[in-house]
Amino acid sequence: MSDILNLKRILAIDYGKKRIGLALTDPLLTFAYPFETIQNNKSVLVQLKKIIEEKNIIKIILGYPSREDGKVSRLIPEINNFKDKLFKNFKIEVVLWDEMYTSKMAEKIVVDSYKKKKKRKDKGLVDRNAAAIMLQEYLDSKE
């Protein structure tokens, strides 16, 4: 039983100015699932610390927005700063991962999965599903 508790996971972060979508791997590091959405506020590092400790996180995949037109997203400097804070605070490897189209794919998943309009408008659902898509892409690239 103690071996199960020691299994490690990877955390994916879909960074946004207001909200941060989170996804986790299963303990065997084979599939990703949406976990939760947290507010991007002063307590974000405290919230992440709790998750990292509770879920035994060994690596963080951080969404890095690219654009089809080749221009740099205005969020890039903020994400680079956030990456530095994550590494400085948690001493865990942080991998930047191209998140192009993950939000669009996540929107489709939410629309297809929830019949109630109110639930479909929950942007937090999109954020954590985008993180899960990104994390699954990362896992699939390692096979």
**Cα torsion through 132, 17, 120, 31, rounded to 10:** 0
Cα separations in angstroms, 35 against 62, 103, 129, 134: 15, 15, 8, 13
pTM: 0.83
**Contact of 135 with 21, CB cutoff 8 Å:** no
Answer positive or negative: Cα dihedral of 74, 15, 32, 101: negative
Q: Which fold has domain 2-141?
A: Nucleotidyltransferase; domain 5 (3.30.420)
pLDDT per residue as tens, the chain (143 positions) = 444 556 899 999 999 999 999 999 999 999 999 999 999 999 999 999 999 999 999 999 999 887 666 666 788 899 999 999 999 999 999 999 887 666 666 566 666 665 555 554 556 677 888 899 899 999 989 86
Domain boundaries, the chain: 2-141
Buried b (16+ CB within 10 A) or exposed e, 4-30: eeeeebbbbbbbbeebbbbbbbeeeee
